[in-house]
Amino acid sequence: MAKKAKQRKLRAKSNAREKESPKQIAKKLEAIGKEMVTDIMKGRDPEFKTQLRGRSNVEFDEERGILILGDKETSRNFLNVGHARKFMQTVMVAAKTRDYLDHNKTASIREIYYELKHTVPNSKENTFDSQTESDSCIVDLEHSIDSIREKLNLHANPKGTLYGDITLRDKMHQNDKFNCAKLGRGGWSIMSRIEPEEIEIVKVNAKYVLVIETEAMYERLVEERFAQKNKAILVSTGGQAARGTRRLVHRLHAEEKLPVIVFTDGDPYGWYIYSVIKQGSMALAAHSDFLACPDACYVGMTLDDVETFKLQNVTEKMKEGDIKRAKEMLDYPWFKNKEWRAQLKKAISEKIRIEQQALANKSLEFVATEYLPKKIKNEEFLP
Amino acid sequence: MAKKAKQRKLRAKSNAREKESPKQIAKKLEAIGKEMVTDIMKGRDPEFKTQLRGRSNVEFDEERGILILGDKETSRNFLNVGHARKFMQTVMVAAKTRDYLDHNKTASIREIYYELKHTVPNSKENTFDSQTESDSCIVDLEHSIDSIREKLNLHANPKGTLYGDITLRDKMHQNDKFNCAKLGRGGWSIMSRIEPEEIEIVKVNAKYVLVIETEAMYERLVEERFAQKNKAILVSTGGQAARGTRRLVHRLHAEEKLPVIVFTDGDPYGWYIYSVIKQGSMALAAHSDFLACPDACYVGMTLDDVETFKLQNVTEKMKEGDIKRAKEMLDYPWFKNKEWRAQLKKAISEKIRIEQQALANKSLEFVATEYLPKKIKNEEFLP
């Protein structure tokens, strides 16, 4: 019972964080600054607290089915010579993002690095020597304000495409309203930031979201009118999904309550793409609340498909790196169910992989008219 | 005079090729097949002719300002044991693409590989062992029919985004008509094939096309409303431009007579992206007529910008590979003008590079309100 209450509390907290406005985030940044000023005024050493990162502090929350960051904290002190430079950098990033929020500006993480880089007057010291330095300050800051960089108006590169009967409105851009099934076969190019206060999901007319690893398979399904015939929203990730794409899929899952079905190549790389969509990633374990879709399921490709659909002729050999990856994945708690263990073990012993596009060996249409509709109808999913 | 007449003839030929319909292409494929059948009926060894590829047959056409393939030919004979497998493969690809054209289907080059791959009955021989084999047949076929794979309904992966006051119609998809300045900040995801018989450019309201190397810079310019304020069409390539993106830019240049201005990082990699847009690439020298924009010009980044805009603090060191690349480029005829020689030599001697996003060091808006408008107004271009 205590556990259930804890879950409820966590969920409520997650909802509140999701809806935090730019003003509220700016307030949090201000609070950090004010505390530092108070410390200085009182002659105390100003301190900056953040969560400890890295695998040693990553946990799998079985109940919620997502990766989370543990409770371990770390702090940085201005008067510690080993911390001083990083302390200055973090304060610079905090001040600059506060500025973005005040002026309704967004910036890429490369831009903020360049914007803040300069030589400290009367010295040969640069504020930042590489983007790695500013990137790590951004992550620190995300943890201190208990939110994500998107809420700080920061973003990485966009990637991913959206197609289907979904109407979006860009509230920050002429209030543009558009239906993503009416943009020809190209579809909408997913932005790097898909925050609710900017991009509104006006209407969705679909039974589920199909997340697709390759752009070429996405084009195949668009051409076959799969979205129309199956009432599906199609999202292509183009490999590992970018944050903007993950945010969008998460929002369709959490806000619109749409089932998320993932379709990747049948190899450890593809399966990991699925797990990142579903449970989150280790690097971003702190943000699973914003990014993960714990109820997502996996439609294929599986190594069992090879036999079922007689694809023996069109498998590929697995590389050594892939086999090593499969062995590592056997150890991850979120792959520790019998279905995924069976897949991973099969991959390791048979040393083969099977691509989405290999289904073209049956016929170009096969994936759209047979493979996906049948598997989805019969719920032949991996968990 | 003879030269001018030749140019005219070439241009007329290029226009005719551009407009060839699926039916005309199918006819060409049929003709190849019929000739083979005739050869067989008459007891002759069937032959397949194509152009010789590789650097030894690539020429720079100074007058037209594009890379072209020379006249050297190569042929393949069915009764030559060394040619027989390849001969069979080429015929398979030709028959399959004929099939696509007849049924209004398109396929990725990976799909056609998988579709055609099987074991020859009563043998252990596969029709294709790797995609490299089918890819090279596709290139052969392009040359024999004197056209591009897009006209065979084949394509590679899509990449690239379009934003601005341009209305497109997808004639093969519900006749969707949409304006690319009204899709929020995401923009339209450029398809892998942008052929005139499928994608119609309905209306363009712009003074020029700005081609941008990085997605993040594209997002910056969209956010700053650069397209609206400067009547520009924005195209992001996301690195080296994909064929669909090159076709679209080429069509805006050739059909709509829009100037094409290219904006990349200031390094050999970025400059080569520019030259591929402008003159075409060595690998696809045979298709420059379909892809190149010989009148394109280059706005930046240049190494002179570093001094002009005081960006010394935000340059990056060039890697050894980049320096080697710059030295190679000095030898390319299409970089043999004094402006580009000066850039390349400067890169080699100073060993620095400057990124587009480094302009954020001035301010986030600087690129949109100062750098680009001023350089474009004063035509401070490299040729």
pLDDT score recorded for residue B2: 65
Residue A139 shares a structural domain with residue A180: no
CATH number at residue B67: 1.10.10.10
- Rounded average pLDDT over B249-257: 96
- Rounded average pLDDT over A41-62: 89
pLDDT score recorded for residue A2: 65
Higher pLDDT pick, B281 / B249: B249
Place of tokens 């790797």: B130
pLDDT score recorded for residue B286: 87
Residue A252 shares a structural domain with residue A353: yes
Inside any domain, residue A6: no
- Rounded average pLDDT over A99-128: 92
Residue B99 shares a structural domain with residue B193: no
Inside any domain, residue A3: no
Tell whether B319 is within 8 A of chain A (Cβ): no
* B155, B187, B219 - which closes a domain: B155
Q: Is the pLDDT reported for residue B6 higher than 80?
A: no
Inside any domain, residue A4: no
pLDDT score recorded for residue A55: 80
* B125, B155, B185 - which closes a domain: B155
CATH number at residue A259: 3.40.1360.10
Tell me the nearest-neighbour CA distance from A79 into chain B, angstroms: 28
pLDDT score recorded for residue B283: 84
pLDDT score recorded for residue B18: 85
pLDDT grade, residue A88 (50/70/90)?
A: very high
What is the distance between the alpha carbons of residues B214 and B34, in angstroms, rounded to a whole number? 48
pLDDT score recorded for residue B110: 93
Domain count, chain B: 2
Tell whether A161 is within 8 A of chain B (Cβ): yes
Tell whether B223 is within 8 A of chain A (Cβ): yes
Higher pLDDT pick, B171 / B158: B171
- Which residue in A158, A172, A186 is closest to B219 by CB distance? A158
Q: Is the pLDDT reported for residue A53 higher than 90?
A: no
Per residue in A300-310, pLDDT tens? Answer: 999 999 999 99
Percentage of chain B lying above the pLDDT 90 cut: 80
Per residue in B173-218, pLDDT tens? Answer: 999 999 999 999 999 999 999 999 899 999 999 999 999 999 999 9
A297: which strand partners? Answer: A261
Task: State which H helix or E strand residue A199 sits in.
Answer: strand A199-204
Tell me the nearest-neighbour CA distance from A163 into chain B, angstroms: 10
pLDDT grade, residue B158 (50/70/90)?
A: confident
Tell whether A355 is within 8 A of chain B (Cβ): yes
Residue B212 shares a structural domain with residue B361: yes
Show which of residues 124-153 on chain A sit within 8 Å of chain B, judged by CB atoms. Answer: 126
**Chain B interface, best mutation among A172, A197, A364, by max B CB count within 10 A:** A364
Instruction: Identify which of A65-69, A270-274, B6-10 has the greatest average pLDDT.
Output: A270-274
Catalytic residue among A113, A114, A269, A332: A114
Give the structural domain span for B112. 17-155
Inside any domain, residue A2: no
pLDDT score recorded for residue B258: 98
Percentage of chain B lying above the pLDDT 70 cut: 99
Backbone φ and ψ for B185, nearest 5 degrees, come out as -85, -10
Determine the residue of chain A that is closest to B127 in CA distance.
Answer: A313
Q: What is the mean pLDDT of chain A?
A: 93
Q: Is the pLDDT reported for residue B70 higher than 80?
A: yes
pLDDT grade, residue A9 (50/70/90)?
A: confident
Inside any domain, residue B9: no
Q: What is the mean pLDDT of chain B?
A: 93
What is the distance between the alpha carbons of residues B347 and B335, in angstroms, rounded to a whole number? 14
Higher pLDDT pick, A63 / B303: B303
DSSP structure string for A281-322: -STTGGGHHHH--TT-EEEE--HHHHHHTT-GGG-EEPPHHH
For CA atoms B110, B111, B113, B119, the dihedral sign is: positive
- Rounded average pLDDT over B26-35: 94
Which of B7-16, B67-76, B295-304 has the least mean pLDDT?
B7-16
Tell whether A216 is within 8 A of chain B (Cβ): yes
Q: Among B81, B82, B99, B80, which Cα is nearest to B91's?
A: B99
Cβ-defined contact of A111 to B357 (cutoff 8 Å): yes
Cβ neighbours, 10 Å, residue A18: 18
Backbone φ and ψ for A157, nearest 5 degrees, come out as -70, 145
Tell me the nearest-neighbour CA distance from B147 into chain A, angstroms: 22
Residue A151 shares a structural domain with residue A284: no
* B155, B178, B199 - which closes a domain: B155
Cβ-defined contact of A126 to B173 (cutoff 8 Å): no
Inside any domain, residue A43: yes
CA distances, A214 to each of A159, A166, A206, A317, B157 (Å): 12, 21, 21, 19, 9
Residue A253 shares a structural domain with residue A325: yes
Residue B23 shares a structural domain with residue B85: yes
Per residue in A313-360, pLDDT tens? Answer: 999 999 999 999 999 999 999 999 999 999 999 999 999 999 999 999
**Chain B interface, best mutation among A92, A103, A108, A366, by max B CB count within 10 A:** A108
For CA atoms A186, A192, A195, A198, the dihedral sign is: negative
Place of tokens 């809420």: A151
Tell whether A361 is within 8 A of chain B (Cβ): yes
Total beta-carbon pairs less than 8 A apart between chain A and chain B? 168
Q: Are A270 and A213 in contact (CB under 8 A)?
A: yes
Residue B150 shares a structural domain with residue B166: no
- Both structure tokens of A263: 């379709």
Cβ-defined contact of A183 to B182 (cutoff 8 Å): no
Cβ neighbours, 10 Å, residue A282: 15
Tell whether B213 is within 8 A of chain A (Cβ): no
pLDDT score recorded for residue A270: 97
**Chain B interface, best mutation among A114, A198, A313, by max B CB count within 10 A:** A114
**Chain A interface, best mutation among B92, B106, B113, B115, by max A CB count within 10 A:** B115
Residue B346 shares a structural domain with residue B319: yes
Cβ-defined contact of B158 to A215 (cutoff 8 Å): yes
Tell whether B199 is within 8 A of chain A (Cβ): yes
Cβ-defined contact of A115 to B199 (cutoff 8 Å): no
Determine the residue of chain A that is closest to B224 in CA distance.
Answer: A105
Per residue in B320-375, pLDDT tens? Answer: 999 999 999 999 999 999 999 999 999 999 999 999 999 999 999 999 999 999 99
ipTM of the complex: 0.89
Question: What is the torsion angle, in degrees rounded to the nearest 10, for the CA atoms of residue A332, residue A239, residue A356 and residue A311?
Answer: -60
Catalytic annotation present for A114: yes
Q: A241-251: string of b/e by CB count within 10 Å (b at 16+)?
A: bbbbbbbbbbb
Per residue in B124-150, pLDDT tens? Answer: 889 999 999 999 999 999 988 989 999
Tell whether A168 is within 8 A of chain B (Cβ): yes
Residue A296 shares a structural domain with residue A272: yes
Inside any domain, residue A5: no
Residue B123 shares a structural domain with residue B55: yes
Per residue in A159-203, pLDDT tens? Answer: 899 999 999 999 999 999 999 999 999 999 999 999 998 999 999
A59: which strand partners? Answer: A68
Inside any domain, residue A64: yes
Cβ-defined contact of A185 to B168 (cutoff 8 Å): no
Residue A147 shares a structural domain with residue A168: no
- Rounded average pLDDT over B67-94: 91
Q: Please report residues of B whose CB lies closer than 8 A to that of A359.
A: 114
Q: Are B191 and A218 in contact (CB under 8 A)?
A: no
Per residue in A234-249, pLDDT tens? Answer: 999 999 999 999 999 9
Cβ-defined contact of A216 to B110 (cutoff 8 Å): yes
pLDDT score recorded for residue B71: 87
Q: Is the pLDDT reported for residue B269 higher than 90?
A: yes
What is the distance between the alpha carbons of residues B383 and B297, in angstroms, rounded to a whole number? 5
